[in-house]
Amino acid sequence: MLRNRGTGEKSRRGSKTKTRIRTVENGKARLKSDVLATEEPMEIRLVTGDKTQTVAVTMRTPGADFELAAGFLYSEGIVGSAEDIRKISYCVDPDIDAEQQYNIVNVELRGGHEYDLRPLERHFYTTSACGVCGKASLEQLELRGCPVISPGPVVSVETITSLPDKLRETQNLFDSTGGLHAAALFSREGSLIALREDVGRHNATDKLVGWALLEGKLPLSDHIVMVSGRSSFEILQKSLTAGAPIVCAISAPSSLAVDVAREFNMTLIGFLRGERFNVYAGEERIDL
């Protein structure tokens, strides 16, 4: 059984950071306190046998760090199930500053398996909104054996249009900071199952996929993934590897996101606001 996974993790640094600002209103300035979304680097180290190596450094909001690491490795095809992961823990290296140890996550893989780390070569450093080359990306997904999503489920228009308000109502960190993205998992009936927030859209999605992986919820074949902001290739890639058939976003998709959705039979919805939305692929899953 996997030990030290997301449920028991603690972070020295919180998801919010207090600061002092000068605000100007009606030509008058005053000092006040404000709350920012914390952004710090997180280093993911892979431990296989007696070998430890850094495989990625990402800028993220502290919180659900173990889910982020697990979701990242699953989305990149390094691990195929929770059983591949023996242990996830924060760094305990005495030569590293105690506070910085909480910005380093060690993922220990089970022995007896060969792990292909080549997909990680492009990820040694990622920003909070990274992207990759288009043509090579689709080919890489096909080479990794990502299956075309099976037909279904079919959801109502009312279910789709109800999602933004449900997502927004649960964005607790956004309420405090105004500076975070969210990725949420809904049932086919529109019930909120899980939500994760981060300064980066793809990090929030990795946290969500990591939660599903560690909780034994994959594949997400009967669910809807929704993200705040736009949908990029990274969002579609991570949703595809998790088996999610429907992806919704508040804003526009990128051209490559649409390509992925059409190539792998996913339903992609954008500009989901109020009673209006655009269907870019997979309209057969919407009961129109």
Domain segments of the chain as ranges: 6-15+39-133, 155-287
Kindly give the residue spans of alpha helices, DSSP state H, lying in the chain. Answer: 65-75, 134-143, 157-169, 172-177, 201-214, 233-241, 255-263
pLDDT tens for the chain, 288 residues long, are 343 444 345 445 688 888 898 888 889 999 999 888 889 999 999 998 888 888 889 999 999 999 999 999 999 889 999 999 999 999 987 777 777 789 999 999 988 666 777 666 655 445 444 444 556 677 777 767 789 999 999 999 999 999 999 998 887 665 455 568 899 999 999 999 999 999 888 999 999 999 999 999 999 999 999 999 899 999 999 999 999 999 999 999 999 999 999 999 999 999 999 999 999 999 999 998
Let me know how long the chain is: 288
If you classify domain 6-15+39-133 with CATH, what class do you get?
alpha beta
> Can you tell me the distance from the alpha carbon of 162 to that of 164, in angstroms, rounded to the nearest whole number?
6
Report the CATH fold assignment for 155-287: Cytidine Deaminase; domain 2 (3.40.140)
Structure tokens at 141: 């997904």
Do 6-15+39-133 and 155-287 agree at the fold level? Answer: no
Q: What angle do CA 133, 48, 205 make, to 5 degrees?
A: 40
Structure confidence at residue 168 (pLDDT):
86
Structure confidence at residue 4 (pLDDT):
42
Of residues 269, 190, 260, 185, the one with CA closest to residue 230: 269
Phi and psi for 47 in degrees, rounded to 5?
Answer: -115, 115
> Can you tell me the distance from the alpha carbon of 49 to that of 96, in angstroms, rounded to the nearest whole number?
22
> Can you tell me the distance from the alpha carbon of 58 to that of 67, in angstroms, rounded to the nearest whole number?
14
Q: CB-hemisphere CA count at 13 Å for 136?
A: 5
Find out whether 57 and 203 touch, Cβ atoms under 8 Å: no
Kindly state the greatest CA–CA separation across the chain: 67
Cis check for the bond before 219: say yes or no (omega within 30 of 0): yes
Structure tokens at 222: 């009967």
Structure tokens at 16: 């919010």
Find out whether 266 and 149 touch, Cβ atoms under 8 Å: yes
Catalytic residue positions, numbered: 130
Structure confidence at residue 6 (pLDDT):
41
Structure confidence at residue 120 (pLDDT):
64
> Can you tell me the distance from the alpha carbon of 61 to that of 203, in angstroms, rounded to the nearest whole number?
9
Find out whether 155 and 286 touch, Cβ atoms under 8 Å: yes
Find out whether 81 and 92 touch, Cβ atoms under 8 Å: no
